[in-house]
Amino acid sequence: MGRILFVASTFSHIRNFHRPYLSAFAERGWQVDVACGGSSMNIPEAHHLYPISLEKSMTSPRNWTATRQLRRLMRENRYDLISCHTALASFFARLAVMGLSHRPQVACTCHGYLFDQNTPALKRLVLSAAERLTAPVTDLLMTMNQWDTQYAVAHKLGKQVVYIPGMGLDPRKLPSATPQQVQQLRQELELPPDAFVLLFAGEFSPRKSQSVLLHALSQLPQKVYLLLPGQGSELDACKHLAQSLGVAGRVRFPGQVSDMSVWYAACDVVVSASRSEGLPFNLMEAMFYARPIVASDVKGHHDLLAQPQAGLLYRYGDATPCARHIVHLMTQPEDAQRLAHAAQQAVTPYLLPQVKELIMDHYWDLISQKGTLTL
């Protein structure tokens, strides 16, 4: 049997998105280890957890310490396969692989390049150079949207590049909310009975661009309310912006929340203003729950919503067409219902049972190329 090391920036990333894959390897008799930055978390499917010095800054000197830690782990445990996730962790994990005498195979999952055709030239140059530098040790590159896939193929960022429909949305973790739960949440949030409710759950970061939604809200009728669950560096700035725009009374900042099923059921429209995405779980969840969606027209969003016509897209950063789409859904409920139904139908290929089988096939195909391991 083999040994695999999963690497990501945080243990929460592995816990939230990759436990089915850890379990699949463990069930085949593999030793499954996890190395991440930050505080360790309970991940029952892993045999060993290794906290390393990764920080979410490419220039942090601690990341070079993390590279040395990863290289030592790889030498001591002689892994057969490295499965790396998140852009920063994937870069430093692949640097650690370079030069090893016992060179493990590397499967890199791209959860969304942090650049696209509209990224400023210097930033795009730096980020794409990091991918080109590590391409020679990237035996399998799995990408989640068409732009990333086409870019990776064109620039030969992996020996083998394959498209995957995300990591898989698990229907078992998406319970239905009761009317009583919905009523209780709306009361706790002090929403008027006739409130038309928008929802965007996500980290408060420059990339998520919640400020665009606040500007859109300022153009919408007084009955429209915006729910913004989450934490992050931009939270205070968004609270100040809501005050300055005169919409603070119609915005709710509840912090981190857990049971999202009730929040989806309590809203009328799910919105997003992200600058870029890989393949966003929050929109896939909204689609599963048959919510109409208004989102920025960026990669990831475009893949999920454009071709199946399962949502309304607007130019990134432009609050006016965002507000216009929301008004349309308010005044044309039949269109909102049609979009919701189309979204629920369109999410089927992204559900875990199908996606897990596809991804594990890619792993086994890669491993079989080495020809020395029992699958």
Per-residue pLDDT of the chain (375 residues; tens, 9 = 90+): 899 999 999 999 999 999 999 999 999 999 999 999 988 999 999 999 999 999 887 788 899 999 999 999 999 999 999 999 999 999 999 999 998 989 999 999 999 999 998 899 999 999 999 999 999 999 999 999 999 999 999 999 999 999 999 999 999 999 999 999 999 999 999 999 999 999 999 999 999 999 999 999 999 999 999 999 999 999 999 999 999 999 999 999 999 998 899 999 999 999 999 999 999 999 999 999 999 999 999 999 999 999 889 999 999 999 999 999 999 999 999 999 999 999 999 999 999 999 999 999 999 999 998 765 555
Each residue's pLDDT tens digit, 174-196: 999 999 999 999 999 999 999 99
* Residue boundaries of the structural domains of the chain: 3-168+352-370, 171-350
* Whether the domain at 3-168+352-370 and the domain at 171-350 fall into the same CATH topology: yes
What architecture is the 171-350 domain classified under in CATH? Answer: 3-Layer(aba) Sandwich (3.40)
Q: Which long-range contacts (CB under 8 A, 24 or more apart) does 290-293 make?
A: 290/340, 290/341, 290/343, 290/344, 291/199, 291/264, 291/267, 291/340, 291/343, 292/268, 292/329, 292/336, 292/337, 292/339, 292/340, 292/343, 293/269, 293/339, 293/343
| Residue type present at position 308 | P
Each residue's pLDDT tens digit, 277-290: 999 999 999 999 99
Each residue's pLDDT tens digit, 297-341: 999 999 999 988 999 999 999 999 999 999 999 999 999 999 999
CATH for the stretch 3-168+352-370: 3.40.50.2000
